[in-house]
Amino acid sequence: MVGVEEEPLLSIGVFARRARLSQKALRLYDRQGLLKPDEVDPVTGYRYYREGRLAAARLIVRLRGLDMPLAEVAEVLALPGPQAAALVDAYWRSVERRIAGQRELAAFLRIQLSGGEGRLDMYEIQQREVPEQLVLTEQRHIRPEELPEWIPQACDRLFASAWAYGGLAGAPFVVYHGEVDEDGDGPVELCVPVDPARAAELKEAHRTEPARREAYIRITKAQAEYPQILAAYDAVFEWAGKNGLTPAAAPREVYFTDWAAAGPEDEACDIALPVA
């Protein structure tokens, strides 16, 4: 069996060709400690690599083919096979989430730049009757970039309270009492339905949400990203106006699934508008 020291040394040019890397890339990977040469001639500065390093070099080529940043490539190279595979899987899932969000953002921009043309064609708008609900509430003024953090944290707080009264009695929803965008901060109210028979026991902030008729659009997790989610709000308002309906209360987002577990293409929430 040939030992590492007995493996033939390849010049940087030969190694680059066999690894399908440029010499410039190899020099960069050397400087960053990602793929250092096995020997460097002290006089000429020529780099030499052992043939056994080709597997690592070719892996780098394939990981870079996924546009993986060099810092993450280094992590993959440093891990044993199963852990490295898990890291690649996690990286690619993050790429798919980003691409899904960008695709929806592109669709939103197309609609915005074309003056709203085609907005209604993107969604299926339905109606439903929602009965009166007793809800625990938490309200605050908030900026768009704070919503992804505040909503799950507020849900955790109100869900914990709801379990003291028998658990959730319906899907939680977020009511936008004012615009939340570059110019507005709401306020926004999270509502968690609980058993109305337990009303006398409630110690937390709560109120009764009246029965209502809602026009709503079901969207994916990717479509729920800001600012593309605004297209769904615009569509439901436009649809209501074209069908002779007027808003009867503030619009809201209804969350009917495990948000953390949902993938970018999974249906994740409803954009709903109470109408009369």
For 6-60, write each residue's pLDDT tens digit: 778 999 999 999 999 999 999 999 998 899 999 998 888 899 999 999 999 999 9
54, amino acid identity: L
**Class at the top of the CATH hierarchy for domain 4-78:** mainly alpha
Q: For domain 120-275, give its CATH number from 3.40.605.10, 3.30.450.20, 1.20.870.10, 3.20.80.10.
A: 3.20.80.10
Write down the domain spans for the chain.
4-78, 120-275
Spell out the per-residue pLDDT of the chain, length 276, in tens: 445 567 789 999 999 999 999 999 999 999 988 999 999 988 888 999 999 999 999 999 999 999 999 999 999 999 999 999 999 999 998 898 888 888 878 877 887 787 777 677 788 999 999 999 999 999 999 999 999 999 999 999 999 999 999 999 999 999 999 998 888 999 999 999 999 999 999 999 999 999 999 999 999 999 988 888 888 999 999 999 999 999 999 999 999 998 888 888 899 999 999 999
For 97-110, write each residue's pLDDT tens digit: 888 888 878 877 88
Tell me what pLDDT residue 3 has: 53
